[in-house]
Chain A
């Protein structure tokens, strides 16, 4: 910020005569580089601190045991093997884990987004006595620590006979205070003339929601959906409690099952199991980084301003 960093290379045609005629030009550039070299170094170091564990995960998954259990550490595997993945699949029913995770994530996130869309529309456009208070009460749920609700929710699910079922896995997590809040704020920022025109044309609320509100809110809905997908996929403590048979476990719990059933820690097998858990969310993140970052940090940007 303080030093003139070279972010945009000048056009060769205009910069070269400049550099030749202006003797200060060249040193200043060098000074910029010299001044920020530690910045690049720090940036590189920070990147490595977060990349190396991921690199270990990826390479160890495909390393042979001979190359994992050796010292000094072999940074580059000389041959790749799929034995670890096969072994992980043999020890633990990863097919079931994957299926359960997919069902819980797709159904859970879809329901969550639908509930949030309808609730947000209601809070934004429909009348109700005491609506403001209902909204405040709904937002208050954000302050309730989820960990404190586990025990009673488990008992509630038990009373409903939903322990070890998909419904039991999904139901307590589908209500969304944050998603509703985010979407309502977005809906209220949409141009009101469109809705007035729609009403004059005799459009009902459902039509107004489907044909006007949603098409104008795709980024906001995508944000809520992606955050929901990540939450559902990574959820750990609730699936751990509510399921009790191996074939109903989701991937994160299945990974723990693999860890306790692979004999003495077999790192190659464990890493390949971990990779199966991590990879889908890594891909989602790579494809939709912007939405996810803005969604997860969005609450911060709005706070206090």
Chain B
């Protein structure tokens, strides 16, 4: 491909040499690209298929062979109220985290786009939780949520109330995790939105201003529609991320109290690695995979109509 100029002179005389060189190109491609492709095949694609098979079996890691049981895992799962609760907690998690992160993120981005002095320092600070271990953030927030000595008590005292037992009270555990999850992720969302805002065509914004649109109107009627590709990207990636949230749950609540914070991701882990219910975990994994595929497909369908490029 890159050697056309050279080839045209020699092609007629030595075709075999040309063919040999192309075969060398193939071999080199295989040498360069196949290690990566093989690892992707083994550790990303194969698991989806094998997971599908395991979901039709019962296994405990120890007995010599998984026992085929058909769709039993799915039917028992879908019939159990506790699994309905898992799906409900996951839905709340995804909707709240993605919704609020995007809302706060776009507002932060608007603030950042004013380019007041000091903005770059603040954007750096806001982005920091995104590059820090989730387990570490979870421990810091456990301290903040300590009802006796934590920062949350300062806030609640200012409001004239006692700080609740955040992570051990079934009513407060999920909100606590949602707050931390949003705190960790909103910086990333805002920086992506900021990049989007800075890429907007200035003439359109100028025209809106000349037409007498106020800042709120400009934002809602002009900026947001123009930012819809960014929003689309963020909704998809944040949804995929929110579905798989794990480290905060593992460190802060372990799915409790009374499974108040058991999301689908925690359920998959718990069933496989704490209870050795391989089949059930695999079935839940397949449910997660299908849900994500479905949500992504729906979003693409929706986007075909709504996104303005």
A residues contacting B by CB (< 8 A) are 1-2, 5, 7, 36, 39-40, 42-43, 46-47, 49-54, 56-57, 60, 68-71, 73, 115-116, 118-119, 121-123, 125-129, 131, 134, 137-138, 141, 143-156, 158, 171-177, 180, 192, 195-196, 199-200, 205, 230, 233-234, 236-237, 240-241, 251-253, 255-256, 259, 265, 267, 270-271, 273-274, 277-278, 281-282, 284-285, 289, 292-293, 296-297, 299-301, 303-305
CB-contacts of B221-242 with A (<8 A): 229-230, 232-234, 237, 240
Whether the Cβ atoms of B143 and A146 lie closer than 8 Å is no
B residues contacting A by CB (< 8 A) are 1-3, 5-6, 22, 25-26, 28-33, 35-37, 39-40, 42-48, 50-51, 54, 61, 108, 111, 113-119, 121-122, 124-137, 139-144, 146, 148-149, 151, 153-154, 183, 187-188, 191-192, 195-196, 199, 209, 215, 229-230, 232-234, 237, 240, 243-244, 246-247, 250-251, 265, 268-269, 272-273, 278, 281-282, 285-286, 288-289, 292-293, 296, 307, 309
Complex partner residue of A122 from B1, B32, B251, CB under 8 angstroms: B32
Chain B proximity of A202: nearest CB distance (Å): 11
Complex partner residue of B133 from A116, A122, A180, A251, CB under 8 angstroms: A251
Contact status of A301 and B195, CB under 8 A, knowing A7-B117, A122-B32: yes
Separation of A125 and B2 alpha carbons in the complex (Å): 8
Whether the Cβ atoms of B6 and A195 lie closer than 8 Å is no
Given A42-B111, A147-B246, A297-B195, list of 9 further CB < 8 A pairs?
A36-B116, A53-B183, A119-B37, A151-B51, A154-B272, A158-B61, A195-B2, A200-B6, A282-B131
26 A-B pairs within 8 Å (CB atoms) are namely A51-B125, A54-B128, A115-B35, A119-B33, A119-B35, A121-B32, A126-B28, A126-B33, A145-B288, A148-B268, A148-B289, A154-B273, A155-B50, A156-B46, A174-B39, A175-B40, A199-B6, A234-B132, A236-B250, A237-B250, A252-B247, A270-B142, A284-B131, A300-B195, A303-B229, A304-B229
Separation of A196 and B111 alpha carbons in the complex (Å): 48
Complex partner residue of A145 from B28, B240, B281, CB under 8 angstroms: B240
Neighbouring A residues of B289 by C-beta, 8 Å: 144-145, 148
Among B115, B122, B229, B278, the most chain A Cβ lie within 10 Å of the Cβ of B122
Whether the Cβ atoms of B116 and A234 lie closer than 8 Å is no
**Minimum CB distance partner of B35 in chain A:** A115
Chain A proximity of B38: nearest CB distance (Å): 8
Whether the Cβ atoms of A175 and B43 lie closer than 8 Å is yes
**Minimum CB distance partner of B112 in chain A:** A43
Whether the Cβ atoms of B113 and A256 lie closer than 8 Å is no
**Minimum CB distance partner of A234 in chain B:** B133
Complex partner residue of A255 from B2, B130, B135, B196, CB under 8 angstroms: B135
Whether the Cβ atoms of B192 and A297 lie closer than 8 Å is yes
Contact status of A2 and B141, CB under 8 A, knowing A50-B125, A122-B32: no
Among A123, A127, A156, A241, the most chain B Cβ lie within 10 Å of the Cβ of A127
Contact status of A118 and B32, CB under 8 A, knowing A234-B134, A277-B136, A281-B132: yes
Whether the Cβ atoms of A293 and B127 lie closer than 8 Å is yes
Complex partner residue of B230 from A1, A43, A137, A300, CB under 8 angstroms: A300
Complex partner residue of B281 from A57, A69, A151, A173, CB under 8 angstroms: A151
Separation of A146 and B126 alpha carbons in the complex (Å): 26
Whether the Cβ atoms of B2 and A199 lie closer than 8 Å is yes
Chain A proximity of B223: nearest CB distance (Å): 11
Among B31, B139, B142, B195, the most chain A Cβ lie within 10 Å of the Cβ of B139
Whether the Cβ atoms of A152 and B139 lie closer than 8 Å is no
Chain B proximity of A152: nearest CB distance (Å): 4
Complex partner residue of A151 from B5, B121, B187, B285, CB under 8 angstroms: B285
Whether the Cβ atoms of A138 and B28 lie closer than 8 Å is no
Among B108, B240, B293, the most chain A Cβ lie within 10 Å of the Cβ of B240
**Minimum CB distance partner of A125 in chain B:** B2
Whether the Cβ atoms of A141 and B29 lie closer than 8 Å is no
Separation of A60 and B154 alpha carbons in the complex (Å): 16
Neighbouring A residues of B195 by C-beta, 8 Å: 297, 300-301
Neighbouring B residues of A50 by C-beta, 8 Å: 125-126, 128-129, 183, 187
**Minimum CB distance partner of A146 in chain B:** B244
Whether the Cβ atoms of B1 and A172 lie closer than 8 Å is no
Whether the Cβ atoms of A274 and B40 lie closer than 8 Å is no
